[in-house]
Amino acid sequence: MTTELSPSNRETTYPSAYPSGWYHLLDLDALAPGQVKHLEVLGKQLVVFRGRDSGKVSVLDAHCPHQGADLSGGKVKGDCLHCPFHDWSFAGDGRLAAIPGLDKIPRARVRSYPVREYYGMLWMYHDISGDVVTPPYEPQAHPEIDNGEMVYRGQYTPRDVNMHICEFIENSVDFQHFAVLHGHLTIPWTQIRVPGFRVRHQAGWELDPQRPHVAYFLNDPYLIFRGRHLHKTGLHAKITLFGPGSTVWFRFQLPDLGDILMFQTHLPTAPLNQRVKFRYYSHRKVPRALVWYVVGHWISQWRADLEIWENKVMRKRPVLVSLDGPVHKMRRWVKQFYEPKPRVHLEVQRS
Ligand code: FES
Ligand SMILES: [Fe+2]
């Protein structure tokens, strides 16, 4: 049975807006030592600051446990954040460090979250319960960036997208839409179609047998020109879905040249609003213009989905046919990020 839904009901058709996973909060170059920022993301008010002495970045709940002032109006001295209201200071782990004029201070703290500085990005682990937990897995290292074989090539931040975070992963198993929305060759970074060409996709989707939080979307697109398959235009793309769609990376393999590695991250600032960022690296041998072309081509394909994502609802029981991809397999996998699990809470949370 089909139900009529007004746009204001879109949100109610989706699962929780903030599933468990690692999230890209901000780019590290946007946070100098001593700098403080307020963030309203993941259904939370957070304060992010970088210590002056250690250079370490910390993320805390934004409001002071004393009288509730917003700590993001405060100042960093040494490695502590000072509240703007009565100048209590807090260490990066959220512990109350000092109260001016008082020797014996109470044991108090503000919640602090697990963070990692990861290839120019600040990642924070968020649990669906909203509480602080020990992350069940770590962000994956990329040795080719660590050892300098791959180099930074750029980043791109589009406008926010009015969609639920689950839609990106839902899209990866939706094999039927490739021909409709992604079947045209477009000028990179635009929606302008190049006449005469079609793009065919050979898609696959699989789970990582070792790591339960990882799945892969595989695609080998190639070009058709006036009905002829252009054999030399093949490109192999492996997309790693790392968690609930918050952090994804693409590996584009270019024969004889090397690879492009691109991170795509989604940060929910509201149930149906994603801040999206792209950050890309490549082997040194890959010319910059080719990186620009391949990344731009992906951005064009990504943009082709926006109008659908920004207006659709989620069908809990979609009518599926044999042309659809493994929707049920994907949904069984993704469920793990939407279920709070009993875990050992960090020691720092006990006040
Ligand atoms: S409200 Fe923060 S120190 Fe009083
Ligand atoms: Fe798509």
What pLDDT, on the 0 to 100 scale, is given for residue 346? Answer: 45
What pLDDT, on the 0 to 100 scale, is given for residue 341? Answer: 67
User: H-helix or E-strand containing 167?
Assistant: helix 166-172
**Nearest ligand, CA 73:** 1
What pLDDT, on the 0 to 100 scale, is given for residue 187? Answer: 84
Q: Is the pLDDT of residue 292 over 50?
A: yes
When pLDDT is cut at 50, 70 and 90, the band that residue 130 belongs to is confident
Kindly give the number of the ligand 1 atom that is closest to the alpha carbon of 64: 2
What pLDDT, on the 0 to 100 scale, is given for residue 233? Answer: 61
67-76, 87-96, 185-194 — which is least confidently predicted? 185-194
Looking at the domain 143-338, which fold is it? Naphthalene 1,2-dioxygenase Alpha Subunit; Chain A, domain 1 (3.90.380)
d(CA 298, ligand 1 centre) in Å: 48
Q: Average pLDDT for residues 213-240, to the nearest whole number?
A: 81
Q: Are 63 and 44 in contact (CB under 8 A)?
A: no
Nearest to 70 by CA among 55, 58, 60: 60
Q: Is the pLDDT of residue 2 over 60?
A: no
pTM (predicted TM-score)? 0.92
When pLDDT is cut at 50, 70 and 90, the band that residue 8 belongs to is low
Give the residue, by CA position, lying nearest to ligand 1 atom 3.
86
What pLDDT, on the 0 to 100 scale, is given for residue 235? Answer: 72
Q: Is 76 exposed, middle or buried (0-12, 13-18, 19+ CB in 10 A)?
A: buried
Q: What is the pLDDT of residues 253-287, one digit of tens each?
A: 988 889 999 999 999 999 999 999 999 999 999 99
Mutate which of 36, 63, 82, 86 for ligand 1 pocket (most atoms within 8 A of beta carbon): 86
105 lines ligand 1 (CB under 6 A): no
In residues, how long is the chain? Answer: 351
d(CA 168, ligand 2 centre) in Å: 8
Give the residue, by CA position, lying nearest to ligand 1 atom 1.
67
The strand pair at 247-254 and 236-242 is best described as antiparallel
Q: Are 177 and 171 in contact (CB under 8 A)?
A: yes
d(CA 163, CA 166): 8
> Which position has the higher pLDDT, 193 or 30?
30
Q: Average pLDDT for residues 43-51, to the nearest whole number?
A: 98
69 lines ligand 1 (CB under 6 A): yes
What pLDDT, on the 0 to 100 scale, is given for residue 343? Answer: 52
Could you give the C-alpha distances from 36 to 48, 75, 129, 209, in angstroms and in order?
6, 7, 26, 41
When pLDDT is cut at 50, 70 and 90, the band that residue 350 belongs to is very low
Spell out the domain ranges in the chain.
Answer: 7-126, 143-338
d(CA 126, ligand 2 centre) in Å: 26
Q: Average pLDDT for residues 232-248, to the nearest whole number?
A: 87
What pLDDT, on the 0 to 100 scale, is given for residue 344? Answer: 47
With respect to CATH, is domain 7-126 assigned 2.102.10.10? yes
Q: Is the pLDDT of residue 245 over 90?
A: yes
What pLDDT, on the 0 to 100 scale, is given for residue 198? Answer: 80
Query: What mean pLDDT, rounded, does the chain reach?
Result: 91
